[in-house]
Amino acid sequence: MPPYPTYNPETGRMTRDLAEDMRRFGFLAQRNQLAELGHSARHVRSAIADRELLPIRRPWVATSTAHPEAVRSVRLGGRLGGASALRSYGVWMGRRSGLWVHASAQASRLPVTRPGEHRITTAERFHTDSDIRWRVSLPDALVQYFLHGETTDAVASLESARHQGLIDDVAVRDIANVLPRAQRRMIERQRRGAMSGIETHFRLAAEAQGWKVDIQVYVAGVGHVDVLIDGWLVIELDGGGHAELEQMHIDRRRDAELIMLGYRYHRFDYPQLMNDMDRCIDVTRRLLAGGRPPIY
């Protein structure tokens, strides 16, 4: 197959680069998408025979580099939905929750799912013009996650999508409008500025205690701190990665500077926050009970 578009004198049309067109479709496409770009059925069959394309499930074909979860969702007669679609968009996801497959409620005789695979049939509400058809739209994925996942996880994903510029205020409002009241109330608690999902998780838990919680607060001489509670208790939240020695030195310097400025601080790591939030809140409550330290 030609590596780049060339003119075919027999058809009077340009011969397109199939590999590049498959990249455009996220390496997994419906045959009619390829036909619209001028790839004939014969051309596609030839690519399958040459193992440049893999037949997945009518009418889908894929390259060997296609997203494995997307390929599996198509084999199951659907597309990526909910948490799985959000992961494919690069949205923060805290807990691994298996494969989410969106399928039409009218679909019948679908393959049986395996343990850890979830088929959802929530109606799609948001149209997308994306060339990538193997996943639902980002707003639909968020709606499905709010309806079928953990609500705090969904708020964290919503804030992540907003922080990355994947959705705007209008999209947030539209998502809220199609959700039940309980989920709408949680969306009202979302904020701008969270740098990671663990910040959202901790903020929601801390706010539930009635504390005044600010995120990404700038402290002169220190820089931005993750969370500030009641104006003096700094909570730093370490992500899942292992901090390098240089970063540890920076953190310790910041901690010392906070003490000198009259703040108190504590650090929680990712496993603590995701696996034992109640304990994190208990520790924070004990720190607050000790009162604000004096400034010398």
pLDDT value at 60 more than 60 = yes
CA-CA-CA-CA torsion sign (199, 193, 84, 151): positive
Q: Supply the range of the domain harboring residue 116.
A: 73-187
pLDDT value at 52 more than 50 = yes
In total, how many domains does the chain have?
Answer: 3
Residues 73/64, Cβ–Cβ less than 8 Å: no
Domain check: are 54 and 139 in the same one? no
Structure confidence at residue 4 (pLDDT) = 45
Mean pLDDT of 187-200: 91
Give pLDDT tens digits for 135-172.
Answer: 999 999 999 999 999 999 999 999 999 999 999 999 99
Domain for residue 296, yes or no?
no
Give pLDDT tens digits for 106-131.
Answer: 988 999 999 999 999 999 999 888 99
Domain check: are 209 and 253 in the same one? yes
Question: 242-273: string of b/e by CB count within 10 Å (b at 16+)?
Answer: eeeeeeeeeeeebbebbeeeebbbbebebebb
Structure confidence at residue 141 (pLDDT) = 98
pLDDT value at 16 more than 80 = yes
Residues 77/43, Cβ–Cβ less than 8 Å: no
pLDDT value at 252 more than 80 = no
Structure confidence at residue 42 (pLDDT) = 94
CATH of the domain at 284: 3.40.960.10
pLDDT-based confidence at residue 8 (cuts at 50, 70, 90): low
**DSSP H stretches of helix in 128-231:** 138-148, 151-163, 169-177, 181-187, 197-207
